[in-house]
Structure 1
Amino acid sequence: MEGLIAVGILLFLMIVGVPVAWSFAGVLAYLTFAYDANFNTLMLQGYRSIDSVILIALPLFVLTGYLMQSGGIALRLVNFIEVLVGKRKGGMGASMVLASGIFGAIAGTATAAVASIGTIMVGPLEKRGYPRGYSSALLGISSLLGILIPPSITMILFAVVTRQSVAACFAASIGPALLLIAGLIAANRFSVGRLFQEVAAGAQDGLESLPSKGSAAFRALPALSLPVIILGGIYGGVCTPTEAAAIAAFMAIVIGFFVYRDLTIKRLSSSVIAAAETTGTVILILLFSFMIGRILASERIPQELTEVITDLVQDPLKILIAVNIFLIIAGMIMDDVSVTVVVAPLFMPLMVASGVDPIHFASIVACSVVIGANSPPVAPILYMACRIGQVPIHKAVLPALGLMAFVGLPVMAVTSLVPELSLFFPRLLGLM
């Protein structure tokens, strides 16, 4: 009963506009009172949980995302991809999807991808005939590739709260990410000529005087080297994810200052401040969620949840489907960090008891975030995409729901029902 009340408190606080971190604080206060927990002990345990070297990667990857936007790296990536595929049918939309994917392979965050890619591409997409509502919806969903393509901040958090290998969680989401990219490109190509008419590529594109392929590739080479350095370093055994994050941030500063020369001291300081604010929020959520998790674990709530569900449903497939549905619903009312650090550990014992590998479950959680973060009523990423696209949310909801129904849900279903899609790369790389 206390658990249901806690969920109700969390939803109520979020609905009335209380910041997510303090909504979790309210839940923690209630559970501490309801179960008569020792708050001093909880604080000590919470501090020990966030006192992790792995979490140092979090602010560094967040900072890298902001530096890519302010240092001109995102612009060069978009120009390069647009030169390669922009003149084909649906090429402009495909450029946005691919740019978000490459951005995700460097920064590991969806919000930075929305701001960077959206600022550059939504205007040119409109000039090519793409409705702003559709463009914003496509931007919102494709930006979530930053969660699926390693390095991923969401996967770092999942690994920390479930005690799994960060590198293995990174690798698990590669297969679903590639499937999502292919699905979004195919859906966008299908939409061109049916939902709207695409204007032929020309000087009016808005990405002002695009260079030749050779010139665009040369200009984008420093930016394209970042994912190679990051992923090659992690999976080549040269550096840990935390060290790779430090290298990424350092390289982003060097490229922004000395190669593209778009980064200034003022922009650097703004990026650092923005990254610190984002990181502070996430760390607070983590701290409170660890303390909540400690109370739930001491009261055996996850074990009881597992027993109740397995008594009601015996078929592991039905349990997996039920957990998928719950994750999507949770994602509709909570942000990706909250789903990852609260809901995922709660269901981990149930998934293990049902025969689901924890690394496989990591990719399932990541796919659920892709859908939930763009689904009303909360839909934080979709709302942000609409703000960037300067379009009312109601004009983006239907295109977003269509993309999630025909791309997002099938990708999550395949990811859930075909474990090898998630486990192939971790096994190939010797991570499990």
Structure 2
Amino acid sequence: MEPIWAILILIVLMVFGVPVAWSFAGVLMFLIWAYDVGTSTLLLQGFRSLDSVILLALPLFVLAGYLMQSGGVARRLIGFMELMVRGRKGGLGAALVLSSGVFGAISGTATAAVASIGTIMVDPLAKRGYPRGYTSALLGLSSLLGILIPPSLTMILFGVVTRQSITALFAATLVPGILLLIGLIIFNRFMAKRFLPDVAEAGAHVPPRDSGGKTFGKALPALSMPVIILGGIYGGVFTPTEAAAVACVVAIFIGFFIYRDLTFRGLWDSFVEAGETTGTIIFILLFSFMIGRVMVAEGVPQDLTRAVAALTENRILILLLVNAFLISVGMIMDDLSVTVVIAPLFMPLMIGVGVDPVHFGSIVACSVVIGANSPPVAPILYMACRIGKVSIHHAITPALQMIFFVALPIMIAVTFVPALSLAVPRMLGVH
């Protein structure tokens, strides 16, 4: 009963606007009281869990994302993506999706993609006649490509809390990420043909054809970043942590010496913002590690496994129940909470029904995409609506359409076709 109360307390605190880190602290205090746990040993175990070289990748990738916002990388990427889809119906919407995917392959975070891509593209889309509610929903869903297309901060956290290979998790979410990218482009194309104005006739903001070489040349340094990062990781040149450090160095070099958009003030602001974001995440991790220790000591994962087994022993039904629970919790809690607290609780159950831990990481990532854009909390969708300057009520219907027709089928496919997650890691020899 105590774990149920703990989850309810976390949900209530977050609904009432308590910062996520302190919501976790409240849950920890309740569990310490409920189970009469000694705090000195628990604190020591929590700090030891943070002593991880792998975890160093987290602040470095966060910093790389902020540096790319300040250094003009997003603007050049968008210009190149617009050039690729120039003159096609729904082309600018497709450019938004593609830009989010490539930016996610560099920064690894959804919030950076929403802020960087959204502030540049929302107004041009509105001028072409795209409803702001639809644009915000498309921005919200496509920004989550940063969780699926590696490197991904969510998968780094999942790997740390479940002791899985970060490289294998990066590879596992690559195919689901590409499927989501293609699915959103197809959905946008369908919507453009039926409900949106003819993009080819609404030619504002389409780059002239003779600017193609110039646009590509400007985007080339930005496009080289995912090649350097991912090629280095899977080529065995450096680890994910070293790749994050390389990403920061490359972002600074490009911003200062190639694009010349990065100033010393922008560099300082990037360090400050990255520090604030990292500090929040580290607090969440510290409290979640301690919560996890208490729950493991009290046998909560085993109790959860027995409870689900009492309902059904059918593997398909168990997977559907876990999917439904992850999505439901993701509607209320943010992606960090789902990844570091809820997912590890289900790990013994998933292993018990024959699900590979790396495959389960891919399932969790897909559930985060759906939950982060589903009311009542929908943190990414709310952020996209703020940038889109529109009430969330106008974005809920198109967001639910994209979830129902694109994201949910992909999650189901990833759940029941393990090869979609495991083929790439095995092909690369990282799992």
TM range (shorter): over 0.9
Deviations 1:308-329 (A, max 9, x none): 2112211111100000000001
SS in 2 for 1:255: helix
Contact 2:79 2:215 in 1 (8 A): yes
Identity of aligned residues (%): 65
Q: Which residue of 2 aligns with 1:294?
A: 293
Matches within 5 A, 1:15-94: 15-94=15-94
Q: Which residue of 2 aligns with 1:216?
A: 215
Cα drift, residue 210 of structure 1: 8.4
Q: Which residue of 1 aligns with 2:411?
A: 412
CA distance in 1, matches of 2:266, 2:83: 28
Contact 1:10 1:24 in 2 (8 A): yes
Q: Which residue of 1 aligns with 2:98?
A: 98
Q: Which residue of 2 aligns with 1:269?
A: 268
Aligned pair count reads 431
Contact 2:57 2:241 in 1 (8 A): yes
Q: What amino acid maps onto 1:8 in structure 2?
A: L
Deviations 1:183-233 (A, max 9, x none): 10110000013222234366632x787872211111111111100000000
Contact 1:203 1:209 in 2 (8 A): no
Contact 1:104 1:145 in 2 (8 A): yes
CA distance in 2, matches of 1:94, 1:204: 16
Q: What amino acid maps onto 1:51 in structure 2?
A: D
CA distance in 1, matches of 2:2, 2:320: 26
Contact 2:331 2:377 in 1 (8 A): yes
CA distance in 1, matches of 2:100, 2:201: 21
CA distance in 2, matches of 1:7, 1:86: 48
CA distance in 1, matches of 2:418, 2:391: 39
Q: Which residue of 2 aligns with 1:233?
A: 232
Contact 1:128 1:200 in 2 (8 A): no
Contact 1:98 1:181 in 2 (8 A): yes
Contact 1:359 1:423 in 2 (8 A): yes
Q: Does 2:17 align with 1:14?
A: no
Q: Which residue of 2 aligns with 1:284?
A: 283
Q: Which residue of 2 aligns with 1:128?
A: 128
Q: What amino acid maps onto 2:126 in structure 1?
A: E
Matches within 5 A, 1:64-213: 64-200=64-200, 204-205=204-205, 212-213=211-212
Task: Output the TM-score relative to the length of structure 2.
Answer: 0.98
CA distance in 2, matches of 1:292, 1:86: 51
Contact 1:79 1:210 in 2 (8 A): no
SS in 1 for 2:306: helix
Q: Which residue of 1 aligns with 2:369?
A: 370
Q: Which residue of 2 aligns with 1:426?
A: 425
Q: What amino acid maps onto 2:284 in structure 1?
A: I
Cα drift, residue 84 of structure 1: 1.0
Contact 1:129 1:198 in 2 (8 A): no
Contact 2:87 2:203 in 1 (8 A): no
CA distance in 1, matches of 2:266, 2:361: 35
- Taking a change above 3 Å as real, the CA distance of residues 30 and 210 of structure 1, as seen in their structure-2 partners, is farther
Q: Which residue of 1 aligns with 2:307?
A: 308
Q: What amino acid maps onto 1:389 in structure 2?
A: G
Question: Please, what is the CA RMSD of the aligned residues?
Answer: 1.2
CA distance in 1, matches of 2:422, 2:271: 36
SS in 2 for 1:204: coil
Q: What amino acid maps onto 2:45 in structure 1?
A: Q
Q: Which residue of 2 aligns with 1:389?
A: 388
CA distance in 2, matches of 1:146, 1:128: 26
Structure 2 unpaired stretches of 5+: none
SS in 1 for 2:331: helix
CA distance in 1, matches of 2:181, 2:239: 27
Cα drift, residue 182 of structure 1: 1.0
Task: Output the TM-score relative to the length of structure 1.
Answer: 0.98
Deviates more, 1:5-14 or 1:189-198: 189-198
Q: Which residue of 2 aligns with 1:337?
A: 336
Q: What amino acid maps onto 1:126 in structure 2?
A: A
Q: What amino acid maps onto 1:419 in structure 2?
A: P
Q: What amino acid maps onto 2:267 in structure 1?
A: L
Contact 1:332 1:379 in 2 (8 A): yes
Deviations 1:115-151 (A, max 9, x none): 0000111111111221111000000000000000000
